[in-house]
């Protein structure tokens, strides 16, 4: 599903002394099937943007288009339930939303509420448990007997069981150790590729943005500050520092290499192994001319 924000603004507590414009004249387009990272410091408008994506809030001004659905201040889709079944949101710390007696019941809760037949739900659960790294033996256990990482996978399985076309990830690796963060992001990337989802990653992690996204939107004080390909946007050190962000570690390393050896290696989102190979070749070139 394509997603378009067309001059969208949103004001909390409008027409009161406490009015606050959280996003201001925001316009962008996310193509169907893309993996887009939305990056910004606290207060940049990321959370408000997310809430527009499945109609939790509607614009104060402008229009949000999600596939064939349109959201404006004065109008909303006739079937909001259908929209919300097509846009799955994994909020930060989703394991806090678990409440059922068993893992199976918790995963089934979403599709049951959207009217999916029991037999179809069982098929989905069987498939999804493998996708998120759970096993069938865990389905009859209480989710609260699992580890924190496993609980998060149960909550994510519940979102996926509805079979959304758009998957919104709000800081999905928050609170996990480095290994858990890597495993979680690899899982989401594989799901994106296998199911051809439109994936939106809301994050403060420049490393995840540059590693997984094919498009990046930088927010600052509710406005769009920059957008483009990760290798272009996330290598602009001075521009990022002006909004309290930094370039990914690999870009910092290549910058330090250039300053020390006077040899520039362009950042193209290469792997660490590919960069190591390029460094070796550049240094060998220098040796040949000495």
CATH number of the domain that residue 197 is part of: 3.40.50.300
The pLDDT assigned to 91 comes to: 86
Note whether 35 and 114 are same-domain residues: yes
- Kindly report whether the global pTM for this prediction surpasses the value 0.95: no
Note whether 227 and 253 are same-domain residues: no
Note whether 124 and 67 are same-domain residues: yes
Note whether 16 and 129 are same-domain residues: yes
Note whether 277 and 173 are same-domain residues: no
CA 109/CA 87 separation, integer angstroms: 16
Note whether 140 and 253 are same-domain residues: no
CA 83/CA 81 separation, integer angstroms: 5
Token pair recorded at residue 104: 């199976």
pLDDT digits (tens, 9 = 90+) for 84-115: 999 999 988 888 888 899 999 999 999 999 99
Note whether 287 and 158 are same-domain residues: no
> Where in the chain does DSSP place strands (E)?
3-12, 20-30, 35-39, 61-66, 69-71, 87-90, 166-170, 198-203, 215-220, 223-228
The pLDDT assigned to 227 comes to: 96
CA 111/CA 120 separation, integer angstroms: 9
Note whether 58 and 188 are same-domain residues: yes
CA 60/CA 48 separation, integer angstroms: 12
Q: What is the 3-state secondary structure (H, E, C) of 194-216?
A: HHCCEEEEEECCHHHHHHHCCEE
Note whether 65 and 94 are same-domain residues: yes
Residue 218 neighbours by CB distance under 10 Å:
24
Residue found by looking up tokens 């290696």 in the block: 265
Are the beta carbons of 221 and 43 closer than 8 angstroms?
yes
Which residues of the chain fall short of a pLDDT of 50?
A: 289-290
The number of folded domains in the chain is: 2
Q: Which residues of 232-241 are buried (b: 16+ CB within 10 A; e: fewer)?
A: ebbbbeeebe
**Residue 216 is part of which domain span?**
3-244
The pLDDT assigned to 273 comes to: 87
Note whether 261 and 222 are same-domain residues: no
Q: Residue 102: how many CA atoms within 13 Å on its side-chain side? A: 10
Element (H, E) at 243: none
């Amino acid at each position: 599903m394509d997603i378009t924000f067309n001059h969208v603004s949103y004001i909390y507590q409008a027409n009161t002394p406490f009015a606050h414009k959280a996003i201001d004249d925001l316009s962008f387009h996310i193509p169907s099937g893309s993996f887009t990272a939305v990056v910004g410091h606290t207060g940049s408008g990321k959370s408000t943007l997310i809430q527009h994506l499945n109609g939790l809030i509607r614009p104060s001004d402008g229009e949000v288009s999600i596939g064939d659905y349109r959201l404006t201040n004065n109008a909303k889709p006739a079937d909001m339930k259908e929209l919300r079944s097509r846009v799955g949101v994994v909020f930060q710390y989703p394991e806090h939303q678990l409440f059922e007696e068993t893992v199976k019941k918790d995963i089934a809760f979403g599709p049951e509420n959207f009217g999916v037949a029991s037999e179809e739900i069982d098929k989905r659960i069987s498939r999804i448990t493998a996708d998120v790294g759970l096993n069938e033996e865990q389905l009859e256990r209480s989710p609260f007997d699992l580890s924190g990482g496993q609980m998060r996978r149960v909550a994510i399985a519940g979102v996926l069981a509805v079979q959304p076309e758009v998957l919104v990830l709000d800081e999905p690796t928050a609170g996990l150790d480095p290994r858990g963060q890597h495993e979680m992001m690899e899982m989401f990337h594989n799901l994106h590729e296998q199911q051809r989802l439109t994936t939106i990653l809301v994050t403060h992690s420049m490393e995840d943005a540059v590693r997984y996204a094919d498009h990046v939107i930088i927010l600052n004080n509710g406005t769009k500050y920059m957008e483009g390909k990760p290798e272009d946007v996330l290598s602009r050190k001075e521009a990022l520092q002006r909004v309290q962000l930094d370039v990914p570690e690999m870009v910092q390393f290549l910058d330090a290499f250039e300053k020390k050896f006077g040899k520039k290696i362009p950042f193209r989102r290469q792997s660490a192994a590919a960069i190591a190979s390029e460094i070796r070749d550049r240094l060998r070139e220098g040796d040949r001319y000495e």
